[in-house]
Structure 1
Amino acid sequence: MDAEETERQKSQGRSIQHHPSLRDMELFVTVVQNGSFSAAGRMIGLSPASVSRYINALEDKLGVRLLNRTSRKLSLSETGILFHQRAERILGDVREMSVEISQEHLSPRGTLRVHSRILVGEQHIVPALPGFMSRYPDIRVDLTLSNEVVDLIEQNIDVDIRIGQLADSSLIARRLVTSERVLCAAPAYLENRPPIEKPDDLLAHNCLAYRVNMGDITWRFLDQNGNLSEVAIAGNMLTNSGPALKIATLAGLGISLMPDWSVNQELKSGALVRLLPDCRISFTAFENAVYAVYPPTRHLPVKARVFIDYLARIFQENI
């Protein structure tokens, strides 16, 4: 080994020695939290003198003063404030890492609280549950279906299945599937009715609409040349229920706009016919996407993570 290599290793050794250990940081944080060497010593089973020696050694190692000492109290120096903040963050990361790694060796368990929009819940979430619960028998699913926007924190929801563009928030979202709306009708409705070759032809048809508000309903179409058509449709049914809209369409009541993930099977089987296939009705690929949304957390609970992963596979395989 040459002299340069020997000096390099010595330098590395000196550098390592000057780095505080996790034990150093834990002891320092304990002292700060308790406000004295004696109180910290009682917590960790050391004498006040021993705690003082450890803190002195830490300061010598770092070459800085961390604590200002008087006969009455301890206070943090400016450098001590910075060291305390960083030490708490590092220790917190180590604790979270330990929990995360330990959870990987455990079978996911506990109550999983799920909320979902009704249509996607009935068509895809509920049918997925038997397979999921068979794979993870220690998870108990508490499922709520509604079209209300729920407060995940207030209602203690682990996973919320949402549709459409998401409002900005602190929540975390994973897209399960992209989607677009499709114009469709049952063959029985289309028999003996005027052909539909362009958007304006819909003016002569009974259009079933999903009610977002009480105003006029306009459907917008973008053709392959980028031309936008807006059609103020009319019909004998309005509803705020996706399942009701689908049932009415399948029954031949009229024409509707539906998310593709909700009618793909019916389009394949011929129970429904897609109309104006060369027109885009959703102008962005994510306008009607399905998302799994969950509260912000650095480490998603295993029971929620395996559920979201399972749903993502189901959507990829079936849609």
Structure 2
Amino acid sequence: MNLFEAMKVFVKVTETGSLSGAARILNLSNPSVTRHIADLEEYLGARLLNRSTRRISLTDTGSAYLERCKQVLADLEQATLVAGMHAANPSGVLRINAPLSFSVHHLGRVLPLYAERYPNVELDVTLSDRVVDLVEEGFDLAIRIGKLQNSSLVMRRLVAARVLTCASPAYLERHGIPQHPDDLARHKCLTYAYTQPDNEWRLQRDGKIHTVRIHGGLHCNNGDLLLAAALSGMGIIRQPTFIIGDAIREGRLVPLLTEYHGEALAIHAVYPSRQHLSAKVRTFVDFLAQQFGEVPDWDRDLPL
């Protein structure tokens, strides 16, 4: 028995004064209304209605129970209304996990815009390049870059970033400019820890993939440190344009082997479930997709 449904039927029978009247208003059959009342009386172990061929009246127990039913149903309706308003208007704490360099360069500039639009959402952002367990660690969503492993998480692609091979003018003046991917094996190449495998770079041209084993003098888990090292002339880096785009536009880094390209890095928002998606998660993901757009800021006006 659906207790709340049975209570609604009971209240409507008392309001209309008949089983058939309640059935008509609730769009139920007469036998269904009769069954709801019988199930409710059996559940309570008490008679609620006196029935005759001409009229229905409340018993003393039914009269007392009716007032409680009306209050419970009114409270349920109010709770449903509040839940609906909460779902439509984002509020509460939104816990986000995001990569360090991407967030510092680009996520940070759009967070104030989201906060201005949705002032009832409190943003709690944790920066880390490791892949966290959203459910285990209590995050509402994460921003992830690159290939995603198959999982039960919902994934929405936001935008992409190109990956370019670059070095500073000072480094190239001292060590020369590589003309072919194989030349990289003779250069100092600064490597990123979360690239697998971390001692190989894969470049593609005309459908042919060139895999080069590289080495350098710096292996790091942060793209900004690799950028700083490359700018100082320490070696060649291969990093996404959301980190190195400004340095290329300003001439502080020189793109290399531009006729060879690698796979673009897709940037996704991931979250645990599509069902009953909270307004704060939905609006934040939609907002990011809108802000970054098809051609993001970090790829605009690159001299390539």
The equivalent of 1:58 in structure 2 is 28
CA shift, 1:104, in A, is: 8.1
Q: Does the C-alpha gap of structure 1 residues 163 and 213 become closer, same or farther in structure 2, counting only changes over 3 Å?
A: closer
Question: What one-letter code is carried by the residue in structure 2 that aligns with 1:58?
Answer: L
Q: Secondary structure of the residue that 1:144 maps to in structure 2?
A: strand
Question: Do residues 302 (structure 1) and 271 (structure 2) align?
Answer: no
Q: CA RMSD in A?
A: 4.0
CA shift, 1:246, in A, is: 1.9
1:113-171 residue CA offsets vs partner (Å, 9 max, x unmatched): 11101121111112222333233333221110012222222333222111111122222
Question: Do residues 253 (structure 1) and 234 (structure 2) align?
Answer: yes
Residue correspondences, number: 259
Q: Using the alignment, how far apart are the partners of 2:267 and 2:292 within structure 1? A: 9
Q: Does the C-alpha gap of structure 1 residues 232 and 246 become closer, same or farther in structure 2, counting only changes over 3 Å?
A: same
Q: Using the alignment, how far apart are the partners of 2:246 and 2:83 within structure 1? A: 39
Q: Does the C-alpha gap of structure 1 residues 51 and 179 become closer, same or farther in structure 2, counting only changes over 3 Å?
A: farther
The equivalent of 2:203 in structure 1 is 221
CA shift, 1:263, in A, is: 1.6
Whether contact under 8 Å (2:105, 2:242) holds in the other structure is no
CA shift, 1:228, in A, is: 2.4
Q: Using the alignment, how far apart are the partners of 2:149 and 2:197 within structure 1? A: 22
Q: Using the alignment, how far apart are the partners of 1:255 and 1:308 within structure 2? A: 34
CA shift, 1:271, in A, is: 1.6
Whether contact under 8 Å (2:97, 2:125) holds in the other structure is yes
The equivalent of 2:224 in structure 1 is 243
Q: Does the C-alpha gap of structure 1 residues 44 and 255 become closer, same or farther in structure 2, counting only changes over 3 Å?
A: farther
1:59-115 residue CA offsets vs partner (Å, 9 max, x unmatched): 4599xx988x89x969xxxxxxxxxxxxxxxxxxxx9x9779745874x43222111
Give the TM-score of the pair, scaled to structure 2. Answer: 0.70
Q: Does the C-alpha gap of structure 1 residues 265 and 36 become closer, same or farther in structure 2, counting only changes over 3 Å?
A: closer
% same residue? 34
Question: Do residues 172 (structure 1) and 154 (structure 2) align?
Answer: yes
Whether contact under 8 Å (1:267, 1:274) holds in the other structure is yes
Whether contact under 8 Å (2:192, 2:198) holds in the other structure is no
Question: What one-letter code is carried by the residue in structure 1 that aligns with 2:270?
Answer: V
The equivalent of 1:12 in structure 2 is none
CA shift, 1:52, in A, is: 6.7
The equivalent of 1:147 in structure 2 is 129
Q: Does the C-alpha gap of structure 1 residues 43 and 205 become closer, same or farther in structure 2, counting only changes over 3 Å?
A: farther
Structure 1 alignment gaps of length 5 or more: 1-31, 75-94
CA shift, 1:299, in A, is: 4.2
Whether contact under 8 Å (1:210, 1:241) holds in the other structure is yes
CA shift, 1:45, in A, is: 7.7
Q: Secondary structure of the residue that 1:191 maps to in structure 2?
A: helix
Q: Using the alignment, how far apart are the partners of 2:196 and 2:154 within structure 1? A: 31
